[in-house]
Amino acid sequence: MKHIVIIGNGISGVTAARHIRKQKDYRITLISSESQYFFSRTALMYIYMGHMTYENTKPYEDWFWKKNRLELLFAHVEKVDTDTKTLHLDTGDNVTYDRLIIACGSKPNRFGWPGQDLEGVQGLYSKQDLEMLERNAPNNKQCPHAVIIGGGLIGIELAEMLSTRKIPVTFLVREKNFWGNILPPEDAALIEEHIREHHIDLRLSTELKEIEADENGRCRAVITNTGERIECQLVGLTAGVSPNIDFLKDSKIELGRGVKVNRYLETNIADVFAIGDCAEQTETSGKRRPIEAVWYTGRMMGEVVAQTICGRRTPYQPGHWFNSAKFFDIEYQTYGWVWPEPSENEKQLFWKHPSGKKAIRLAYDKNTKHLLGLNSFGIRIRHEVIDQWLTEKRKLSYVIENFKEALFEPEFFGTYKEDLRMIKNQFATV
Amino acid sequence: MSEYKIDHNMALTGEPPKSLDTWQKLAVLIGMSGLGILLLATLNINFPDKTLWLTISLSALATGILLFSYREYQGKSKGIKNDGVWFKSISSRGLWAWLSGIALTGFYIVLYFFPQYLGLNPDGENTGVISLFDPLSKVLSGNPASQWFVYGVLYTIAILAFGIKFLYKYRHNRYERLRTFSVMFFQTAFAFLIPELMLRLNNPDLPYYDLKNIWPLNYYNFEQYRVDQFISAGTIGIALLIFGVLSILVITPILTYKYGKRWYCSWVCGCGGLAETAGDPFRHLSDKSLFAWRVERWVVHSVLVFVVLMTTAVIYTYLGYDADKYWLNREFFLISVASGLTILFALIWYFKKDELEKDAKYGAVTYLAIILGLIVIHYLSGSNVFLFQAETLRSTYAFLIGAIFSGVIGTGFYPIFGNRVWCRFGCPMAAILGIQQRLFSRFRITTNGGQCISCGNCSTYCEMGIDVRAYAQKGQNIIRASCVGCGICSAVCPRGVLKLENGSRDNRINSDGVLLGNDVDLLDHIRDYDPTRSPRKE
Ligand SMILES: Cc1cc2nc3c(=O)[nH]c(=O)nc-3n(C[C@H](O)[C@H](O)[C@H](O)COP(=O)(O)OP(=O)(O)OC[C@H]3O[C@@H](n4cnc5c(N)ncnc54)[C@H](O)[C@@H]3O)c2cc1C
Ligand code: SF4
Ligand code: SF4
């Protein structure tokens, strides 16, 4: 029987395993050194905040794996030998494979800042990181002040986490707007205001220069590029992630920033595939980036690679881009492309509710007038509808006229009548 | 190779967001003093001015709860307020949870089985805590208080005070607010004031009737003493009796068809009302395992069968005693029940066979066979109804289900098993509405394309123990018999994935639902390959 081995039991590896199992009787092994069972990384913050237990974050009960004959190995792969199709584990054991799927995810970026390896300096990616955070910042007595470096999605999650334990946070963001490489300035401003409402000391256009150590080798303060010194007991490094591929350096698998793959998620070596955060596409589709470190692309790649492995060679062809996040209490969804600075041919419309907690931005083609993308804040949007409108290249006027169809708000959120009227009025004048 | 240890560290070293501020400590003190007065009264300390002390006690209770809640959510921006839920002793099965569980359980045992310790004295003046409530009861109904009156007052105060807490907690969510107003209203008006006033204003002959308490939740509604009272109370009594029958046979199916069982379970029902308000801090304690779901289906449907048998037996028996008093003939009644159930079963089988899980089919067939078998045995032998005396059935039901399950376990164990244990495992009304919701309703929870990140907030906070995530992460609609439509899964979802909706029945069950995001061809492939219906079966 063919043996499929998957390095990584995150969303992409697990999805691949499940979809292979649906079709074939192959022997399937998932290897991970992070946790025995699959858990949801996206829920890490909720454990620290006391919304959920670690158990709650597991999407499948523990019996699921055995029942579906998915073998789990709790070990670290130290070396991959593609000539002999062998993996060398830290336990001293070897595992041989017929097909190998690399789904090893990411690790937090460290840009060589002085002091980045001190005690009390950490990223937030893995379960072990969360355990470390629990030691570094259990409460505001042991951690009277924290500094977070990098204004992205994980940074703001970390800020929210710490604030639930009443730990004062200074949040350093290099760009002049929060998440400025993704959000247009007005959108960012809405979030910045909300961040400050939660008593986070947000510093825009500010970079980390170095981290100062105390006599025990723990971080004591950070120094910014403006020369300011901020005392702190925790430094959260959340300036993005990159593929976690160090263990592949000595292998024959071609690496760039990630594991290089073609449209079929195949690497340069036969029978070796890569999916999820660690995969770097050599031919990207549309305006997508070569490395997409988000949950659902990992899931989709897992589905696709399963088709290929089960004998139906299938290219990875993601549809329209979408994503979502939650900034403290403001939910955010995005569909299609909305650039922080309108690209050529792109024009944008922006509506903000007087409360400052809701907003819609529409991007459209200024020549053909069809919809290019949408950002929404504090308003739930129906994925299916926008996806269809993007595919059908609906005109802006149609979108505005039928916007109600695109709402996914809970029942009785009647204020939306008013909002819709405002949206229509404002957009009609443009 | 350790699994996650954080939960344990937390209790020792951490200071997660669980501490009470000074105001909250004061609030606890005030609330406890209100309880203290009731306790002292129970211990037969005599309070000279009962009206005054009752007022003080009840106000202290309400003030304590309200002050506590105000401090809990005040100054925080609108949104989900679950910080520290799993760290607080009371809401994470810690010491306080066990203590309050034991105290509540004790209270229910005394209430149901030893009301004399509360001071109930049917033959003379009440004493103890019940006597403290006499003045209020006399104002409302003209009669002295009973243990049920005391319970009713406390129950209503709990729903109102914790209801306000809930309203404040979910002030950003209109669905949650509206349905909370609704349960607060139904409890105060229908369960509490109207029946008391009816006693006073109208007709001492009328039975105490909470109109929203529908058979089979109200399992005693058609017992002889009540039916006799209805009949002897004249037109209004007959109207109420007819209303009681229509409630379950006509009104309930229509509303459930249109809105799902939520119209009752989380907008009207008193048990649901308490669970959603006082029980809200415990909703995450429900068991989400597949095993629990299996147990749930067997237990709740067994209770339903039990109540049907019991009620049939009871009615059949008294129809026999005084045959000329009732227009309904006992044989005719028995045959109607048997044929009604058979027709219902046949219809479901014919139209919905494909939607039933294997164990549901076994269960349905077995139960129908048991019921019909008993009816036939009886009919042929003419002896005891259903092997047991009707009275034995009735008292067993009242003890096991009416008292132990719904009260002692259902509410007493809130802090241990979660707030909807009764509704999920024990309530025969929920079982009927659930079958209907699963098979004939427009209600569903829709999932939003590919946005689910499998975080698990929805499953964690589903008080009915539904693994909502299992559906959401596959893009399937959630159509579950037990869903009470509380809307909390939708509220807590950080990605806006879930929406409670009433809609067309076409495509309501999108069992091969596929997540958006892949190109079309791939969708087709996955559709071909997905042989599963239940999201748990892979
Ligand atoms: C805090 C946080 C919040 C997030 N929130 C969102 C969100 O809201 N929405 C969203 O779209 N995305 C979010 N993401 C990103 C998303 O979680 C990732 O894109 C996704 O988890 C990647 O899945 P994966 O399967 O590719 O890799 P991973 O989940 O990283 O899984 C890889 C696994 O492989 C293991 N592994 C690696 N190398 C080896 C080896 N040599 N031997 C053995 N095991 C190995 C790793 O330990 C890891 O367990 C978030 C990420 C984080 C950290
Ligand atoms: S539906 Fe929402 S709450 Fe539930 S797992 Fe998905 S993202 Fe989380
Ligand atoms: S599925 Fe959602 S709406 Fe239904 S009971 Fe559970 S939490 Fe409430």
pLDDT of residue A399: 93
Q: Do B455 and A46 touch (CB under 8 A)?
A: yes
At A276, the pLDDT band (50, 70, 90 cuts) reads very high
- Nearest-Cα residue of chain B relative to residue A41: B455
CB distance B492 to ligand 3 below 6 Å: no
Residue B414 has pLDDT above 90, yes or no: yes
Which residue puts its alpha carbon closest to atom 5 of ligand 2?
A: B454
User: For B443-527, CATH number?
Assistant: 3.30.70.20
Q: In this structure, which residue's CA is closest to atom 6 in ligand 3?
A: B462
Q: How far is CA A322 from CA A400, B39, B87, B91, B520, in A?
A: 20, 59, 35, 36, 16
pLDDT band at B10 (very low <50, low <70, confident <90, very high): very low
Q: Which residues line ligand 2 (CB under 6 A)?
A: B 452-458, 468-469, 472-473, 493, 495, 497-498
User: What mean pLDDT is predicted for residues A37-56?
Assistant: 97
Structural contact between residues B92 and B17, judged by C-beta atoms closer than 8 angstroms: no
Question: CB–CB of B15 and A141 under 8 A?
Answer: yes
Angle subtended at Cα B81 by Cα B471 and Cα B291, rounded to the nearest 5 degrees: 35
pLDDT for the residue B211: 85
How far is the centre of ligand 2, averaged over its atoms, from the C-alpha of B497 (Å)? 6
The domains of chain A, with CATH numbers, are: 3-107+242-309 (3.50.50.60), 121-239 (3.50.50.60), 322-427 (3.50.50.60)
Tell me, yes or no, if A89 comes closer than 8 A to chain B by beta carbon.
no
pLDDT value, residue B73: 92
Mean pLDDT of A267-295: 94
Do the Cβ atoms of B453 and A56 come within 8 Å?
no
pLDDT confidence of B196, banded at 50, 70, 90? confident
Distance between CA atoms of residues B29 and B344, nearest Å: 55
DSSP A314-348: ------S-EEEEEETTEEEEEEE---SS--TTEEE
- How close is the nearest chain A Cα to the Cα of B393, in Å? 39
Average pLDDT over chain B reads 85
Percent of chain B at pLDDT exceeding 70: 88
Residue holding tokens 């007493």? B412
Residues with CB under 6 A from ligand 1: A 7-13, 31-34, 41-42, 44, 76-77, 103-106, 124-126, 154, 157, 244, 247, 276-277, 293-296, 298, 325; B 453
The secondary structure of A48-102 as a DSSP string is: HTTSS-TGGG-SS-THHHHHTTEEEEE--EEEEETTTTEEEETTS-EEE-SEEEE
Q: Which of A56, A68, A384 sits opposite B456 (nearest CB)?
A: A56
Nearest chain A residue (CA) to B173: A413
Cβ neighbours for A216, distance < 8 A, ≥ 6 positions apart? A119
3 state SS of B203: coil
pLDDT band at B528 (very low <50, low <70, confident <90, very high): very low
Model confidence pLDDT, tens digit, residues B232-278: 888 888 888 889 889 999 999 999 999 999 999 999 999 999 999 99
Question: Given phi > 0 = left and psi -120 to 50 = alpha, else beta, which region is A415?
Answer: alpha
The answer to whether ipTM exceeds 0.90 is yes
Chain B partners of A140 at a C-beta cutoff of 8 Å?
A: 15
- Show which of residues 15-44 on chain A sit within 8 Å of chain B, judged by CB atoms: 18-19, 21-23, 35-36, 40, 42-43
Q: Is A318 on the interface with B (CB under 8 A)?
A: yes
Mutate which of B469, B522, B530, B537 to disrupt the A interface (most A C-beta within 10 Å)?
B522
Domain with CATH 3.30.70.20 in chain B: 443-527
Distance from the A40 Cα atom to the nearest Cα atom in chain B, whole angstroms: 6
Average pLDDT, chain A: 94
Proportion of chain A above pLDDT 90, given as a percent: 92
- How many CB atoms neighbour CB B86 within 10 A? 26
* Phi, psi for B447 (deg, rounded to 5): -110, 150
3-state SS, residue B2 = coil
- Residue A311 forms contact with B (CB below 8 Å): no
Task: Check if the beta carbon of residue A330 is closer than 8 Å to that of residue A356.
Answer: no
Q: Do A317 and B6 touch (CB under 8 A)?
A: no
| Model confidence band, residue B526 (pLDDT cutoffs 50, 70, 90) | very low
Predicted confidence at residue B517, as pLDDT, reads: 54
CB-CB under 8 Å, A384 with B516: yes
CB atoms within 10 A of CB B382: 8
If pLDDT is split at 50, 70 and 90, which confidence band does B384 have? low
pLDDT band at B516 (very low <50, low <70, confident <90, very high): low
Question: pTM value?
Answer: 0.93
Say whether pLDDT at B14 is over 70.
no
- Residue B229: pLDDT band (50, 70, 90) is confident
Single-letter amino acid, residue B488:
I
In the structure, what pLDDT confidence band is assigned to residue B523 with cuts at 50, 70 and 90?
A: very low
Q: Are A103 and A272 in contact (CB under 8 A)?
A: no
- Of A42, A49, A295, nearest to B83 by CB-CB distance is A49
Q: What is the pLDDT of residue A77?
A: 98
Q: Go through chain A and tell me how many residues it has.
A: 430
Q: Which residue has the tokens 């024959």?
A: A252
pLDDT one-digit tens code per residue, B42-87: 988 888 889 999 999 999 999 999 999 999 999 888 999 999 999 9
Residue A36 is given by DSSP the state: S
> Binning pLDDT at 50, 70 and 90, where does residue B322 land?
low
Name which residue sits closest to atom 6 of ligand 2, judged by CA: B452
A59 CA: nearest ligand 2 atom: 5
> Using CA atoms, how far apart are residues B528 and B522, in angstroms rounded to an integer?
10
Lowest mean pLDDT among A161-175, A312-326, B54-68, B188-202: B188-202
Q: How many CB atoms lie within 10 A of CB B242?
A: 11
pLDDT at B520 over 70: no
User: Is 50 exceeded by the pLDDT of residue A114?
Assistant: yes
- Going by their DSSP bridges, the two strands A330-336 and A322-327 should be labelled as antiparallel
Chain B residues lying within 8 Å of A317, measured CB to CB: 518-519, 521-522
In this predicted structure, what is the pLDDT of residue A338?
A: 96
CB contacts < 8 A (A, B): 216
